[in-house]
Amino acid sequence: MKIAVLPGDGIGPEVTREAVRVIEALDLGIAMEEALVGGAAYKATGHPLPPETLALAQGCDAILFGAVGDPDCDALERHLRPEQAILGLRKELTLFANLRPARVFPGLENHSALRPEVAGAINLLIVRELNGDVYFGEKGFRTTATGEREGYDIMSYSESEVRRIAHVAFQAAQGRAKRLCSVDKANVLETSQLWRDVVIEVSKDYPDVTLEHMYVDNAAMQLVRAPGKFDVVVTGNLFGDILSDQASMCVGSIGLLASASLGERQTDFGTFGLYEPIHGSAPDIAGQGLANPMATILSAAMLLRHSLGLGEAADRIEAAVAKTLSAGVLGRDLGGSAGTAEIGDAVLANL
Ligand SMILES: NC(=O)c1ccc[n+]([C@@H]2O[C@H](COP(=O)([O-])OP(=O)(O)OC[C@H]3O[C@@H](n4cnc5c(N)ncnc54)[C@H](O)[C@@H]3O)[C@@H](O)[C@H]2O)c1
Ligand SMILES: CC(C)[C@H](C(=O)O)[C@@H](O)C(=O)O
Ligand SMILES: [Mg+2]
């Protein structure tokens, strides 16, 4: 069993270090190899996703990813920017299904941006499509007939892309409360109309799952009004990106939300995948030991469960995180004062 560890930029290395310590403490016989990615890789090699990093990722059973993004790189041509590394990994490795669970940990109800009784009911899973949409369509700058500069990004989904993510979402719902909400903007976008039509077609295979459709603007509102009503939410790349950051604050902090990015490739132990917190490199707090590593530690738990078939070890990590949080070991993002390493130490002590 081998994991590629790609810490990346900003707080990426800080939070990844804690997740690696947790995996090591479990003594599961997992080999780990680190490589450069993002701005760190660009600065060292001239490319945000060097071929050797991609090759390492391809050769492992799973990838633990920190975060990429560096303000020093924001003026680079787009293909050289740090963010291209995570987009490239998702696309090159065909990791099309991004699972972003959000639930309130017992004792944290008062730390949500919502009222405790509203927050306490949250237990949802966002299934975000990760290989298509406006992210990967043709894009560029051009000049209009009147001589104005114009930027454009083409949004599209093919039916096979929608079908495969819909199957993932219906199957996830079958393993949960059997409710699926498909989020789109079919009242305006043809991409979304096709999305909706295909999701309805796929629903015929899953008569035990209750399907509803919701426009994304309403979904953003309902996530704050009554987030406890959602079970599984399936949506496209852009809407899923935005709604998952929103869901994180309903839960309490973006420093708590983990993710798994999966495709169809199977390893000897499970499904090949990339695991990362949903947050970014947080340049505003990088290098200060203030980042909350819980999202990355929980991502490591998802890695053990989905890619390495180590469900019991994953349960242990999740229980240790819950115990640490309910004991009040909270980072600044949750109104506490614990630093990154202190939170890691507490999780290790609670394993
Ligand atoms: N998958 C990724 O690698 C990924 C995801 C999102 C953003 N980014 C990149 O990260 C950079 C910064 O983006 P941004 O500021 O919009 O989003 P961000 O998620 O990095 O930070 C948003 C806010 O949340 C806080 N925050 C984030 N993670 C935290 C944690 N673990 N603990 C405590 N506080 C935390 C930050 O301090 C900041 O105030 C950009 O370059 C962006 O492109 C990368
Ligand atoms: C950094 C960026 C490309 C990325 C995305 O938009 O998918 C991030 O926001 C995320 O949520 O993983
Ligand atoms: Mg995002």
Ligand 1 pocket, 276 CB below 6 A?
A: yes
CA 188 – ligand 2 centroid, Å: 24
The single-letter code of the amino acid at 242 is I
pLDDT values of the chain reduced to their tens digit, one per residue, 351 residues:
999 999 999 999 999 999 999 999 999 999 999 999 999 999 999 999 999 999 999 999 999 999 999 999 999 999 999 999 999 999 999 999 999 999 999 999 999 999 999 999 999 999 999 999 999 999 999 999 999 999 999 999 999 999 999 999 999 999 999 999 999 999 999 999 999 999 999 999 999 999 999 999 999 999 999 999 999 999 999 999 999 999 999 999 999 999 999 999 999 999 999 999 999 999 999 999 999 999 999 999 999 999 999 999 999 999 999 999 999 999 999 999 999 999 999 999 999
CA 245 – ligand 1 centroid, Å: 10
Catalytic pick from 9, 185, 206, 323? 185
Catalytic, 70? Answer no
Ligand 1 pocket, 69 CB below 6 A?
A: yes
Residue 100: phi and psi, rounded to 5, are -125, 90
Probe residue for ligand 2, chosen from 81, 241, 259, 296 as the CB with the greatest number of ligand atoms within 8 Å: 241
pLDDT of residue 60: 98
Query: What is this structure's pTM?
Result: 0.98
pLDDT in tens, 48-104: 999 999 999 999 999 999 999 999 999 999 999 999 999 999 999 999 999 999 999
The single-letter code of the amino acid at 289 is G
Ligand 1 pocket, 13 CB below 6 A?
A: no
pLDDT of residue 64: 99
CA 242 – ligand 3 centroid, Å: 6
On the CB side of 195, CA atoms within 13 Å amount to 29
pLDDT in tens, 113-159: 999 999 999 999 999 999 999 999 999 999 999 999 999 999 999 99
Ligand 1 pocket, 48 CB below 6 A?
A: no
CA-nearest residue, atom 3 of ligand 2 = 83
Structure token pair of residue 153? 């990004």
Distance of CA 108 to the CA centre of its chain: 21
CA-nearest residue, atom 36 of ligand 1 = 282
pLDDT of residue 272: 98
> CA-CA distance, 86 to 150, in Å (whole number)?
26
pLDDT of residue 220: 98
pLDDT of residue 71: 98
Query: Would you say the C-alpha torsion 55, 45, 79, 86 has a positive or negative sign?
Result: positive
pLDDT of residue 203: 98
Measure CA of the first residue to CA of the last residue in the chain; give whole Å.
21
Render 144-209 in DSSP notation, one character per residue: -TTS-EEEEE-----HHHHHHHHHHHHHHHHTTTSEEEEEE-TTT-HHHHHHHHHHHHHHTT-TTS
CA 67 – ligand 1 centroid, Å: 8
Catalytic, 197? Answer no
Which ligand is nearest the CA of 100, by number?
2
Residues forming the annotated binding site? 90, 100, 128, 217, 241, 245, 280-292
CB 258 within 8 A of CB 295: yes
Query: In the chain, what are the domains?
Result: 1-95+262-351 (3.40.718.10), 109-251 (3.40.718.10)
The DSSP output letter for 94 is T
- Element (H or E) spanning 108, and its range? none
Contacts of 239 (CB under 8 A, 6+ apart): 128, 183, 184, 185, 216, 219
Catalytic pick from 61, 70, 135, 231? 135
The single-letter code of the amino acid at 236 is G
CA 50 – ligand 3 centroid, Å: 22
The DSSP output letter for 10 is T
Catalytic pick from 70, 184, 231, 241? 241
pLDDT of residue 62: 98
pLDDT of residue 55: 98
Instruction: Give the position, in ligand 2's atom list, of the atom nearest the Cα of 69.
Output: 1
Ligand 1 pocket, 18 CB below 6 A?
A: no
Which ligand is nearest the CA of 255, by number?
1
Structure token pair of residue 17? 């270090």
Catalytic, 74? Answer no
CA 242 – ligand 1 centroid, Å: 13
